[in-house]
Copies of this chain bind each other. A is one copy, B any other.
Amino acid sequence: MSYGRIKATQLIDKVTTADEAARLFEHGMVIGASGFTKAGDSKAVLDALARRAEKEELKITLMTGASLGHDTDAKLTRAGALAKRMPFQVDRVLREAINRGEVLFVDQHLSESAELLHNNCLPPVDIAVIEAAFIEADGSIVPTTSVGNSVTFAALAKRVIIEINTRVPEAIYGLHDIFQPDNYPHRNVIPIVAPENRIGRRSIPVDINKIAAIVFTDIQDSPADIAPPDAKTIAIAGHLLRFFEDEVKKGHLTDRLLPLQAGIGKVANAVLSGFKDSNFYDLRMFSEVLQDSTFDLLDSGKLSFASASSITLSADCYDRVFANLQKYKDRVVLRPQNISNTPGLIRRLGVIAINTAIEFDIYGNVNSTHIGGTNIMNGIGGSGDFARNAYLSIFVTQAASKDNRISHVLPMVSHVDHTEHDVDILVTDIGLADLRGLAPRERADRIIRNCVHPEYRESLRSYFDRACQLRGGHTPHMLEEAFSWHNRLRENGSMK
């Protein structure tokens, strides 16, 4: 054991095994755990909890930053340990249990869980489980590859379990900027005016008397598996980069653009990679998660600074970043997710937000979460925090998938996560639609012209034309036919 990582030496007798620590959990408890896009999550204690729950009735509410790695959500689900889960997940096993109605899922904006906890709008947290690089002399926690909601969990939980991960070098100290707004009614300004501003401390404060157990691990974050760019994502990235170039030509933006946010996944990666060979320079990111592409851009000199709440890397990139932490620490900062994703900062900084949609409709409404209106995919994550308040709110998706049996551009989305009022730019591999300043009928025309897959263009045009003729209105729709494409897919396996 690396007891040297416990600078508060009076805590050394709290060191125990994961199984022992997991005995602290009781049926019905609310657990707040670290972890955000598979980074900085609990690797041992939640795993031990799953094993316990296999043998006894032990159902909890689990809150995290965002998604967990190491199949932890799957293990907890299979063990029947999850009564309720929030605010985000990406696990196939958990997703299916949610969709069967077995696990209750609360799909929250990532900036809001901490708000709701602080405001007593959610049940109080019993136990926090937080991954740490080390514990400072005052008991405060130096986190690892994510901050997430850990500051809130540590502040509000009755007891705290710390997992010290010795795989993470102590040199990570200084990567994090830990700041929390005061509670209402005395909340103050968050004094960030640029992504690179540091306003807080380097570790997460915690009442040392609440630390109930310390567990050691040596397990790396689950690697991000990012599909390499393919023809579609390269086409999407191309449309988007040309759009940015045009905005610069028109004098709307400079070659430095404005701070970028990019969701995870291959499209975001393709877009960021596209910047490498562009004329843009001195770029900044103000995002929620940083992937390999961020570090490539930092290395290439195109990107000057990146702010987020987590770092999710491939195995190769993980090694590279941790071997060069000192170099990156000046140019990267990790913040609590209620800071990285807070509406006021996103508007103040003028973020350009790029997120992936499951589907969008002819009027610009976006579905980020549901398949067929009923089944959850992952959750809204931070897409709403950013899209709603961004300088530019961009959504990307492939025009069609599954041998073109599915069109992602539709008469009406089956679930709305981002409304027509919030969406500026839509992009598919077919093309880009700039919706700014357009009325709904103008938007429909442009989206049908620019974004829909050619195999669906005519029938989408026909829907719109008939809706205008038969019903008219500000937003012409035939409600009895609005979901006919989804219904056809359900019944016949194709939207055609």
- In the complex, what residues of B have CB within 8 A of residue A414's CB? 477, 479
Q: Cβ of A184: which chain B residues have Cβ within 8 Å of it?
A: 258, 350, 391
- A interface list, Cβ under 8 A from B: 84, 86, 98-101, 104-109, 115-116, 119-123, 181, 184-185, 187-189, 191, 193, 250-252, 254, 256, 258, 342-345, 347-350, 365, 370, 372-376, 380, 384, 388-389, 391, 414-422, 424, 436-439, 441-442, 467-468, 471-477, 479-480, 482-483, 486-487, 490
Residue pair A437, B106 in contact (C-beta under 8 Å): yes
Say yes or no: B479 contacts A376, CB within 8 Å.
no
B374 touches A104 (CB 8 A): no
Tell me if A349 and B475 are in contact (CB < 8 A): no
- A185-B258 in contact given A374-B475, A473-B374, A476-B374 (Cβ < 8 Å): yes
Q: How many copies does the complex hold?
A: 2
| B residues less than 8 Å from A119 (CB atoms) | 252, 350, 391
Report the separation of the CA atoms of residues A86 and B440 in the bound assembly, to the nearest whole angstrom: 12
Q: A424-B121, A436-B116 are in contact. Are A388 and B388 (CB under 8 A)?
A: yes
CA distance A416 to B389 in the complex (A): 18
Interchain nearest-CB distance for A73 vs B (Å): 15
Q: Do B370 and A475 touch (CB < 8 A)?
A: yes
CA A252 – CA B121 in complex, angstroms? 8
Q: Which residue of the partner chain, among B106, B181, B343, B415, contacts A389 with CB atoms under 8 Å? A: B343
Contacts of A252 in B (CB 8 A): 119-121
- Interface contact A185-B347, CB-CB below 8 Å: no
CA distance A345 to B343 in the complex (A): 9
B residues in contact with A376, CB < 8 Å: 473-475
Closest chain B residue to A194 by CB distance? B185
A421: chain B residues at CB < 8 Å are 107-109, 380, 384, 417
A106: which of B438, B471, B480, B482 is its contact (CB, 8 Å)? B438
Q: Which residues of B contact A468 (CB under 8 A)?
A: 101
Contacts of A436 in B (CB 8 A): 116, 121-122
Tell me whether A370 and B185 are in contact in the complex, defined as CB-CB below 8 angstroms, given that A417-B419, A482-B483, A487-B479 are known contacts: no
